[in-house]
Structure 1
Amino acid sequence: MSENFANSHTNHAAPVQSPRQSRGQNQNSDEIDLGYLLAICLDHKWLIIIVTLIVTLLGYTYATLATPIYRADALLQVEQTQSNLGSIEMAVMGQEQVASSTQSEILRSRMIMGRAAQQAGLDLVVTPNYFPVIGAAMVRMDVERPGFAQGSNHAWAGDSITVDSLQVDPSLTGRPLTLTVTGANRYRLSDQDERVLGEGSLGELLTIETPFVEMLVTQISAPAGVEFTVLKRTDTQMIRNLQVRFNVSQRGRETGILELTLEGPDPEELERSLNAISDVYLVQNINRQAAEAESRLEFLEQQTPLIQNDLNSAESRLNDYRASQDSVDLSFETRSMLERLVELESELNQLEIQESELSQRFTPSHPSYQTLLEKRSQLERERSRLEAQTDNLPETQRQVLRLNRDVEVSQAIYMQMLNATQELRIARAGTVGNVRILDNAVTGTYPIEPRKNLIIVISSMAGIMLGLMVVLLRHMLRRGVESVDQLQALGLQVYATIPLSERQRRLFDRFKDRKWRHRIRSAFGNTMADTMGKARKFRRTRDENGVLALIDPSDLAIEALRSLRTSLHFAMLEAGNKRLMLTGPSPAVGKSFISANLAAICAQSGQRVLLIDADLRKGHIHRSFKGESAQGLSDYLVGDCSLDTVLRGTEQNGLDYIARGTAPPNPSELLMTQRFAQFLDDVESQYDLVIIDTPPALAVTDAAVVGKLVGTTLMITRFRENPVNEIERSLEQLENAGVVVKGSILNAIERTASSYYGYGYGYGYYHYAYKSDND
């Protein structure tokens, strides 16, 4: 079966040129290409998925372990203030009603909260000592004590105690005490310093003199050793605990309906506390209304005897005058004037009472107070006008009018006072306040927090965003060379772009595995590194230690190297010798892979090729030919072996290689000796091409030493691994040593979405493949 190329290369003699300009990735461009960023994310989709799953799992774990929070609600109605004062009600025009916001603040006041907390028993808190992190969640799931927790001090499902009362010394108020079950119906009480305060029994009052503690435990359902925290809260702690969980809101506008809500982990405590708040507020409102009626009643009872004395005195004066004047009758006009004066006096007296009460609540500048003063001024002006009219009456009529006025005014006022006093006594006895409870507290069936579905959705979105940030940040921090243009901008001709083959990928993975195990060994020691290294052992094939050009000549990377072979033929025409050095900025760029396979391809074309492993520290060319490192270049340079001994043949005709040899303590010094230069002269006379694989240029000076003795030097760069500044530093270091880098090779190009979107260098090789004549 004959073989031929399905397509042919059209340009081998010149360095590889960019098939198209990069999109948004030029060094001098500051534009952001969203399409390219999307392609980067597609390349690392598995990393994003893994990060998303981890964050989502953390969110689900939190939602599962978090303490559920319930909400209880109740409804109150604040009615418009009703009058209980009958005829003397101070119906002041424009008087403002108490706003709902005021009622909300009253409900949140320390007066209401403190009494409600005491009534609900919030001063005493008993908390079990749960297993860390997951203990409370396990108890909520009714997980009973597992075998490994037998004898521990942690509480599990079914473990509980009941403390009916606790009184402590002021020095212990607000400080937790530890109650430890010591046996059947027995317990021990300790303070924060683990000092035992005393021991008690179930159902018996425990009394400790110093410091004073008085506690009654009425139920113990827990094995010996389990601990509970007992806390006697201070008034401030109780009120604060209730205030931060309590909320008041008005339903609708100006409805007077207040919705009370309380949140917390214990549904029973929520209903008990919220009902206590409602009851205390209701009682406070009733007491406030009763106190107002009591204050007014006291004022009226003080004024009534004085009004009665005035009435008696006025009647006596009228009777005495009539007797002295032999009974004087009033005319119709005078009688009308008298009735109007009595009416004015009555209104003025009522305004005086109102003013005395307003003065206790408002200043004279208040609008209500100003309205009352203005009304009183009007009445006083009218009274003055009528009194001026009485001056025109005869003396007898005028005197009788005044005496009758005093009697009737005093009598009207006295009757008003008696009626108002009776009404206030009735109002005091039947005070109900202007607040009523519409709905008692009820706790919802399901918790309001944590909202599992929402947390999972948010954590998933956060995971996606975190994954995108990791990918983009990683891409920004590892901006390895991605295009031919970037290398050409440094003055380097690019002779080939080599796609990443599967075998080369395994070699890179093996290198990473060695680095990973080295880090584990440094952090945790040899034993841990060996154990974890076995778990991460890579599956290898028998072809991994061979030369790809000999094993799979149709591989895309080998096709690219054939193109490089042709380009190098013209590039080395002007060189002073037949020596080619391959180096790179850093390890794991594929120098040895390219060296071995390029040597095999050149030998396949009929040339005699020698491959030298000049990396005397970590060279591994011998593995590609399934040989050993011993008896290699270093051994020849120190004089332990002859040239014929270190030269090794291969299965490919025309291809020989020299291994690195025994790792010496001074590799750079060996390469600087005259024996190495003479060695190169000797082997060059025997071969058509000498390829030398050297260590990374930035790591050691070996490449600079060898580079002075060769005619052609190529820089191997790895796609997305070597940053431009790293390559630039390598070039500067070689140039400072007098080594001229002829060009570069962009190795290990991966077929990814981002590279396809932005570049496409070397992907023409993906379209070449061997086909049989029968295809």
Structure 2
Amino acid sequence: MIEEFEVSESSSSSFDIKKFLFRALSYWKWFLVLLAIGIFLVYQKNIREEFSYRLGTKISVEDDSNPLFTSTQSLTFNWGGVTAKVQTMIVTLKSRTHHEKVVDRLEFYKSYLKQGRFRKQDIYKAAPFRFDHDYEFPQLINIPIKITFLDADSYELDVDFLSSTAKAQNYMTKDVSSIDVPMGIFKKQFKLGDSINLPFLKGVLKLADHRKAVPGEEYFIQFSDFDSVVSSYQGRTSVTNTSSSPILDITLIDKNTEKIVDYLNTMVTILSEDQLNRKNQYATNAITFIDEQIARVKNELSDNAEALNDYRKKTKIYSLDSESETLNDKLTKLDAEKESINRQLSYYSSLKNYLLTSSTFTEIPAPSIAGIDDGNILNNVSKINELSVQKSKLQYSVRSDASVFNDLNRQIEGLKNVLQENISAASNGLRRELQTVNNALSNVESQFSKLPEDQQKLITIERQYSLSEQTYNVFLAKRGEAEIIKASNVSDILIIDPAKNTGATVLGRNLNVRYVFALFAALLIPLLIAFVLTFLDNSIHSPVDIEQLSSIPLLGVIGKNNLDDNLVVHRKPKSAVAEAFRAIRSNLQYYYRSHDLEGAKTLLVTSSVSGEGKTFCSINVATVFALSGKKTILLGLDLRKPKIFGDFQIKNDIGVVNYLIGQESLEAIIQKTDIDHLDVITSGPVPPNPSELLINERLGELIRVLKTQYDYIILDTPPIGLVADALELLDYVDVSLYVVRQDYTKKGMLNFINEKYKTKQIKNISLVYNGYDQKAKYGYGYGYGYGYGYGYGNYANGYHEDDRKNKSFFKRVKSILGLRSARFK
């Protein structure tokens, strides 16, 4: 009956650092292969590397006040000092809106490409042509359009469409749409300067200045999604500012240095233009308001001049007498005062209504337009305009619920309340002045009523004309004043260092670092594999493992058999393997003498499972005893898988099975071999009940009889880990050998025999390490401090038929065994 054999982890097993290191060293060839592959891949990547460059420009945010500014010409105002301006400029430069203006002006959504060794490269201005596209027509995006010059005046347009639809974008509205295109390769020839009018492309291709077309040259045009291009440049642009400094450093990373230069300079140009426009907005608003008033007053002036001329022609009265002239001067002066007061009251009324109904205060006309010189009004209007500008700038980069917005809103509300109080106070004062002027007008007009009727009418017409003329002149003066201030304004952006390619910083230039990473990767992979395999490895790979896993003494270490059969001692008596068996024979004889065993000696050879070399060891142990002149018999008791007959070229027709069932006599089953003093009893036919036969009393009788005829009886038994047969045979033998094979026996397989040995159910047992390979991939040699103290001299001398490898093996065998082999229990 075959018992199930469980392989479990030994409780004494642990991660073996030495085994890990030797295993890793055994992978040196893989390391070289991986290193070669890594170097090759890194080289291929390096030669395909497209470098990025960084360039920068430096600007200063100044506080340039208009030298023509006066308190009565408040058409400009300060935005809150340099600090506020710097923060505003940083926010603006980082904003998407600003980058959209730059990309739009430079048309960087349109690329000129040329096929390089590994990729299409952006050649920008190096392209010998320019394509002027129709901004309101959707252009094909994300698909390269090939341009091949046929001669100096013509070219071929080539597009490879992979599907029947494609994306197109209108760069005026920025709308993206889907268009139908001819699937496959589209080709068409054009003349330079001809209009291209295709469903997916519209524009004119013409040569750049001072450039010529070279026949056969191939280029590409590619339009990209506008938003994607803007996002790309926005992400690669950096704006830095040191604390409390008006200096801004603007840098950009790109693969084309010419594009970097143009983009940075255009960024600064647009910023300067926008800032100056914002700075001039106050004056611009004032000019617009004045122009509206001038147009109105101009019509009144024209009508009044025409009425005055008509009256003079009709009445033939061209001048006033002295009294009438005096009254006219008084009336004109009072009318001008009244008009000025009404103009101021009208402005205050409009300003109050603006404050109550508007949410932004960046378009408030200048108070000086209406002739207002109240310092409180001027200052507060300037402040509320300033806060409104800051708020409009921050709304592109700060959340609407941020604390900075709440603070600005509180300040604006406070200024609105103060302004409304100022307006009420000023309006009340103006109304009192207006009442005074009206009273004066009434007194003069009472004198005016005493004049002749024709003089009264002439004065009335001249009053209206003079009032319109004065008002018109006032607005003209204000407009001229605003124009002068606007023209004299300069931008607060001062360019310190414009962008210029005087040596761009190359990013990622040190490509040799990648070779270091390849080296580490080539080293790490074998180490990782070695670690995992060592951690998961459950096989026995060296005699050192035996010492760690079991307290059963190690009797001998046997090298790897390179012959085609198991008769290594017989066929190669001077080999290192044969010498290892002689060492086992010596150790066994020492054991027999130390235990005062007289007469025939019995020896059992077993193992954990089939394939560990149990039969190989049985044959060669029996052979070395026979070669020493001792009568030896090898008894094949592995009834399930008989083997030994094949090596001795004898038959297995009859054997121990026939004897145990009473079919044959002992003399009939004993077979001679070609080796002197060595006989063999094979197992014979495979029986249906091998376990029952082995516990038969006839087996004990057989061994007792054989002891009378032989000096040594070697029992080749079944694996003790698979069947219980070998356990039944332990009572018949003096010593048991348990075979362990390198790289084959699992560590957990020793648990069973260890337990039996620990509980003393099995005595007089030793381990034999079989199949040792000194150059195994696990790297264990014989350098672990094993001595060889059996006193049998240097066995390596004189074995000339062994190669150097076997000699080295034999020397190492001696160092492994040492005096440990005499440690029997």
Query: Do the two structures share a fold, i.e. TM-score over 0.5?
Result: yes
Task: Report 1:634-649 matches (<5 A).
Answer: 647=671, 649=673
Structure 1 letter corresponding to 2:382: Q
Report what 1:425 is aligned to.
Answer: 486
Task: Note if 1:284 corresponds to 2:270.
Answer: yes
CA distance in 1: counterparts of 2:668 and 2:138, whole angstroms: 95
Tell me which moved more, 627-636 or 179-188. Answer: 179-188
State TM-score, norm by structure 1: 0.59
CA offsets per residue over residues 80-136 of structure 1, 9 Å max, x none?
Answer: 3433472334236667424469626634626415743773654347586x9xxxx83
Say whether residues 1:599 and 2:622 are aligned partners: yes
Distance 2:638 2:482 in 1: 116
Provide the secondary structure at the position in 2 that maps to 1:582.
strand
How far residue 248 of structure 1 moved from its aligned partner, in angstroms, is 0.9
Cα shift at 1:288: 0.7
CA contact (8 A) 2:140 2:201 kept: no
**Distance in 2 between the 1:210 and 1:668 partners?**
92
Deviation at 1:419, TM superposition (A): 7.5
Tell me, in whole angstroms, the C-alpha distance in 1 between the residues paired with 2:774 and 2:508: 47
Q: Where does residue 580 of structure 1 map in the other structure?
A: 604
Match for 1:91: what amino acid? Answer: N
* CA 188–80 in structure 1, closer or farther in 2 if over 3 Å, else same: closer
- What SS does the aligned partner of 1:136 have? coil
1:238 is paired with a residue whose SS is helix
Corresponding residue number in structure 2 for 1:146: none
Q: Which has the higher contact order (CA 8 A, sep 6+)?
A: 1
In the superposition, relative to structure 1, how do residues 603 and 743 fare at CA in structure 2: closer, same or farther (>3 Å)? same
What does residue 340 of structure 2 align with? none
Q: Does 1:296 align with 2:282?
A: yes
| Map of 2:497 onto structure 1 | 438
Residues 547 and 300 of structure 1, relative CA distance in 2, 3 Å threshold: same
1:86 is paired with a residue whose SS is coil
Deviations 1:703-746 (A, max 9, x none): 544654563454322467544423336889999xxx96863415
Give the superposition deviation at 1:475.
1.9
Once residues 484 and 419 of structure 1 are traced to their aligned partners in structure 2, the CA distance between those partners, rounded to angstroms, is 108
C-alpha distance 726-251 of structure 1, shift in aligned 2 (>3 A): farther
**Counterpart among 254, 259, 263 of residue 273 in structure 1:** 259
1:434 positional shift: 0.7
| Contact 1:190-1:197 at 8 Å conserved across structures | yes
Q: Choose from 103, 122, 128 the match for 1:116.
A: 103
Question: Deviation digits for residues 215-266 of structure 1, max 9, x if unmatched?
Answer: 979778599xxxx99854222333344445x1415265436231413144xx
Cα gap change, 1:581 to 1:114, in 2 (>3 Å): farther
Distance 2:535 2:200 in 1: 65
- Change in Cα spacing, 1:500 to 1:489, as seen in structure 2 (3 Å) is closer
Q: Paired residue for 2:533?
A: 474
Report the CA distance shift for 1:231/1:418 in structure 2 as closer, same or farther (over 3 A): closer
Going from structure 1 to structure 2, the CA distance change for 1:687 and 1:557 (only over 3 Å counts) comes to closer
Question: Does residue 449 of the first structure (1) align with residue 511 of the second (2)?
Answer: no
- Structure showing greater Rg: 2
1:562 corresponds, among 575, 586, 604, to: 586
Match of 1:357 in 2: 385
8 Å CA contact retained: 2:55, 2:261: no
* Paired residue type of 2:269: V
- In the alignment, which of 238, 246, 250 is matched to residue 248 of structure 1? 238
230-239 or 97-106, which moves further after superposition? 97-106
Moved more, 668-677 or 555-564: 668-677
- Determine if the alignment matches structure 1 residue 83 to structure 2 residue 65: yes
Aligned residues of 2:58 and 2:248 also touching (Cα < 8 A): yes
Partner of residue 191, structure 1: 161
Counterpart contact for 1:668–1:705, Cα < 8 Å: no
Query: Which residue in the other structure is 2:352 paired with?
Result: none
Q: Which amino acid aligns with 2:11?
A: Q
- Return the offset for 1:285: 1.2
How many angstroms apart in 2 are the aligned matches of 1:298 and 1:464? 72
Give 5+ residue unaligned stretches, structure 2.
1-8, 165-182, 207-212, 302-328, 336-370, 392-404, 442-470, 659-663, 799-825
Letter in 2 for 1:86: F
Could you tell which deviates more after superposition, 543-552 or 589-598? 543-552
Name the CA distance, whole Å, in 1 between partners of 2:188 and 2:569: 78
Partner of 1:496: 554
Matched, 1:64 2:64: no
**Superposed displacement of residue 300, structure 1:** 2.6
The code of the aligned residue for 1:470 comes to I
Residues paired across the two proteins, number: 618
Bigger mean CA offset, 194-203 vs 68-77: 194-203
Q: Residue 407 of structure 1 corresponds to which residue in structure 2?
A: none
Whole-angstrom distance in 1 between the partners of 2:505 and 2:58: 23
Q: CA offset at residue 750 of structure 1?
A: 8.1
Tell me the CA shift for residue 56 of structure 1.
Answer: 3.9
Q: Distance in 1 between matches of 2:96 and 2:293?
A: 42
- 2:60 is equivalent to residue 74 of structure 1: no
Aligned counterpart, 1:747 = 769
Deviation (angstroms), 1:635: 7.7
Counterpart of 2:11?
Answer: 27
Answer yes or no: is the 8 Å Cα contact 1:179–1:189 preserved in 2. yes
CA-to-aligned-CA distance 1:261-312 (integer Å, 9 cap, x gap): 3144xxxxx2133123213312321331242244212333356689999xx9
The partner residue of 2:652 within 610, 618, 633 is 633
Whole-angstrom CA distance in 2 between matches of 1:212 and 1:674: 97
Partner of 1:452, secondary structure, is coil
CA shift in 2, pair 1:220/1:213, >3 Å:
farther
Partner Cα separation in structure 1 for residue 128 and residue 188 of structure 2: 14
Residue 90 of structure 2 is aligned to residue 103 of structure 1: yes
Work out the CA distance in 2 between the residues paired with 1:575 and 1:193: 97
Contact 1:78/1:257 (CA < 8 Å) preserved in 2? yes
Cα distance, 1:633–1:696 mapped onto 2, change above 3 Å: same
CA distance in 2 between partners of 1:170 and 1:768 (Å): 103
| Partner AA of 1:109 in structure 2 | R
- Paired residue type of 1:348: N
1:156 equivalent in structure 2: none
CA distance in 2, matches of 1:579, 1:167: 101
The aligned runs of 1:705-720 (5 Å cut-off) are 705=725, 708=728, 711-712=732-733, 713-718=736-741
Deviation string, structure 1 residues 382-416 (Cα, Å, up to 9, x no partner): 999x99xx99xxx99x999xxxxxxxxx9xx9999
TM-aligned CA deviation for residue 64 of structure 1: 1.4
TM-score (norm 2): 0.56
Distance (Å, rounded) in 1 between the aligned partners of 2:544 and 2:386: 91
Residues in 1 aligned to 2:627 and 2:604: alpha-carbon distance in whole angstroms = 17
Aligned-partner Cα distance in 1 for 2:104–2:568: 77
Local SS of the residue matching 1:260? strand
Q: Distance in 2 between matches of 1:723 and 1:234?
A: 65
Label 1:762 to 1:287 Cα distance change in 2 as closer, same or farther (>3 A).
Answer: closer
1:600 shift after superposition? 3.1
Give yes or no for the alignment of 1:239 onto 2:230.
yes
- Cα pair distance change 1:198/1:420, threshold 3 Å: same
> Post-superposition shift, 1:747?
1.3
Q: How does 1:325-724 map to 2 (within 5 A)?
A: 345-355=373-383, 357-358=385-386, 360-361=388-389, 362=391, 366=408, 420-427=481-488, 431-432=490-491, 434=493, 436=495, 438-442=497-501, 448-449=507-508, 451-480=510-539, 494-499=552-557, 501=559, 503=560, 550-552=574-576, 555=579, 558-560=582-584, 562-567=586-591, 578=602, 580-585=604-609, 587=611, 589-611=612-634, 631-633=650-652, 647=671, 649-651=673-675, 653-656=676-679, 669=688, 681=702, 684=706, 687-693=710-716, 701=722, 704-705=724-725, 708=728, 711-712=732-733, 713-718=736-741, 722-724=745-747
2-structure distance, mates of 1:759, 1:649: 36
Contact 2:130 2:205 survives alignment (8 Å): yes
The whole-number CA distance in structure 2 between the counterparts of 1:697 and 1:283 is: 93
